[in-house]
Structure 1
Amino acid sequence: MRQEDPDGYRNHLRMLPEKFDELLGKIGDKITKNDTHMRNAIPATTKLEITLRFLATGDSFVSLEALYRVGKSTISQFIPVVCSEIATALKEFIKIPTRQEWKEIENGFRTKWNFPGCIGAIDGKHINIIAPDDTSNYFNYKGSHSIVLLALVDDDYCFSYIDIGCNGRASDGGVFERSGLKQGLENNSLDIPEFILL
């Protein structure tokens, strides 16, 4: 798909092929296992593709199993590992903006989107999980078990802030109430310029 339909590939993983290669270069060695006499190891490329597809769409493990021909129990074992390696490798890229960066983000929203005074777009995304022991706290309004990803993005859709792991029972507003982002806004520790109205 990558060669024949680059736009389809990008839509499938929500990532440009060159960014995929860059990410694979950062974590490939860490998510690669050795072949054994019993089986061939799943390639790092496949693990990363499955993980990105899961994060981008929330597809079930059953759906991913059919799409990639990798067992759902295997998928459930490596997705957390791949996510952890992504978070470690990209830690330098997801950071609270500086005062100057807030100004640049506001300028971007004003000029690109005709939305003055805006410093980010925020939303929550439920990421389906296998039902844990404490199922009621993770059961969401969509009828599945999940954790919530709360994200703030800038005018170029780049993450400025993420909070992940809150149980799926919580609403987006409830996740925001408990987030470091809200605390930072309330105690003025985010260094947001005064001219921005919140």
Structure 2
Amino acid sequence: MTATQFEELLHLVAPAITKQTVIRKPLPPAERLSITLRYLSTGDSMHSMSYHYLAGVSTISHVIGETCDAIWNSIRQEVIPPSKTTEEWLHLAKEFKERWDFNHCIGAIDGKHVIIECPFNAGSSYYNYKNSHSIVLLGISNAQYMFTFADIGAYGRRSDGIFKDSKMGLKFNSKEMNVPAPEPLSPGGPPLPYVLVGDEAFQLTDYLLRPYPGKGGLNDERNIYNYRLSRARRTIENTFGILVSQWRILKRPINCSIEKTISIVKAIVYLHNWIRRRDIGENEYVTPTLIDQEDDDGFVPGSWRGCMDNSAFVDITQYGSNNSSRRAMQIREEFCKYFNSEGAIPWQFHHC
């Protein structure tokens, strides 16, 4: 974060973290913000932070929790509004088409277990199938590695139904998200919906596409469809990877209470979007080597992929049922036909 960005963020959050007391002089807002950003970006322990800032561990803990809450309360309306207009969805689809060659895509979806130290008196609610304790971070990204929606705090014990039962999942399922009406991908073609793209863990629906199952035995057409979907879906993979790379508190399980962990993860998601919006074209926060690339020799993995081992983020293997309606399967077939006909791009045939 640049000095200019720090001052801008401080101006936004200062009213919420300014303290007044007649007993002792409180930490000024700039120091409170500095403590919190250092904790999130370096992953230093609170004991280390207390020595550095000459404040008690309980004071540091309290400051970090309050400031994280102030950050996401102050900037959430700017960086992740609770709803989108039809025109905004169309703009997102245009970016996915131009950058990732996937028509009618309005976002890439994925989720992670956020591993936490065993919380006091948590019972089994946060104990997941990976034999660890976690909360769930479910996110949708745009074509520029920014979150458009995020759901944070579901029990780690849950797997099946996480997306369907989330606020955004319920709204997508009940058609309350202002998503544009179906339109043909090509002149004379059937009207097809605007969709999210996800991996095999998600249920195939009329608003969410997933790959064809089976890594072997698929025909060339289905392999091409899977390749095209994978290119678009990697945006959310890279978005999670950027978080772990740039916010080092996520490089290990988080040793905080459930409530504070949720506040920390929310603050990081919102700070990521806030900085990323100011970084597009600058390549300071997201450098070219940090994210996945493609060149003449094929796929070039981003440096973030070396940061995920032993991090706080762990993949979720199942978000919903594998049962799919005939309509959902037909929609996928139509996208597959399009990517192998009018929507084909010359170099896709080298990847099937």
Q: Matches of 1:49 and 1:122 in 2, distance apart?
A: 32
Contact 1:97 1:160 in 2 (8 A): no
8 A contact 1:127–1:149 mirrored in 2: no
- Residue in structure 2 matched with residue 18 of structure 1 by the alignment: 4
2: distance between equivalents of 1:82 and 1:66?
18
> Which protein has the larger Cα radius of gyration, Structure 1 or Structure 2?
2
Residue type of the alignment partner of 2:19? K
Indicate the residue corresponding to 2:97 in structure 1.
110
* 1:90 alignment counterpart: 75
1:165 to 1:192, Cα distance in 2 relative to 1, 3 A: same
Task: State the identity as a percent.
Answer: 36
Residues 51-100 of structure 1 deviation map (CA, whole Å, 9 limit, x = unaligned): 3455568x4xx625425735543333233322322232224222222111
User: Tell me, what secondary structure is at the counterpart of 2:71?
Assistant: helix
In the aligned structure 1, how far is the partner of 2:37 from the partner of 2:105?
Answer: 29
- CA spacing shift, 1:122–1:130, aligned 2, 3 Å: same
Partner secondary structure for residue 156 of structure 1: coil
How far the C-alpha of 1:26 sits from its partner, in A, is: 1.1
Alignment match of 1:66 (pick from 48, 61, 80): 48
- Which of 13, 17, 22 is residue 31 of structure 1 equivalent to? 17
Contact 2:39 2:45 in 1 (8 A): no
The RMSD of aligned alpha carbons is: 3.2
Q: Which residue of 1 is the match for residue 124 of structure 2?
A: 136
Q: Within 5 Å, which residues of 2 pair with 1:1-198? A: 10=1, 17-34=3-20, 41-52=26-37, 59=43, 63-66=45-48, 69=52, 71-93=56-78, 94-95=80-81, 96-125=83-112, 126=114, 128=116, 131-140=119-128, 145-171=133-159, 174-193=161-180, 194=182, 195-197=193-195, 198=207
User: TM-score w.r.t. structure 2 length?
Assistant: 0.43
Deviation at 1:101, TM superposition (A): 0.5
Distance 1:122 1:153 in 2: 7
TM-score under structure 1 length normalisation: 0.70
Q: Is the 8 A contact 2:49 2:60 kept in 1?
A: no
Alpha-carbon spacing, 1:97–1:46, altered in 2? closer, same or farther (3 Å)? same
Aligned length: 179
**Does the residue aligned with 2:136 lie in a helix, a strand or coil?**
strand
Q: For 1:65 and 1:143, how far apart are their aligned partners in 2?
A: 28
**8 Å Cα contact 2:115-2:132 kept in structure 1:** no
Which amino acid counterpart does residue 101 of structure 2 have in structure 1? Answer: N
What is the one-letter code of the residue matched to 2:77? E
Aligned equivalents of 2:136, 2:95: Cα separation in 1: 27
Gaps of 5+ in 1: 1-9, 11-15
Task: Between 74-83 and 48-57, report the one with greater CA deviation.
Answer: 48-57
Q: Offset at 1:165? A: 2.2
Q: Distance in 1 between matches of 2:76 and 2:110?
A: 20
d(CA) in 1 for partners of 2:40, 2:111? 13
Q: Relative CO higher for 1 or 2, CA cutoff 8 Å, sep ≥ 6?
A: 2
1:161 Cα offset (Å): 1.4
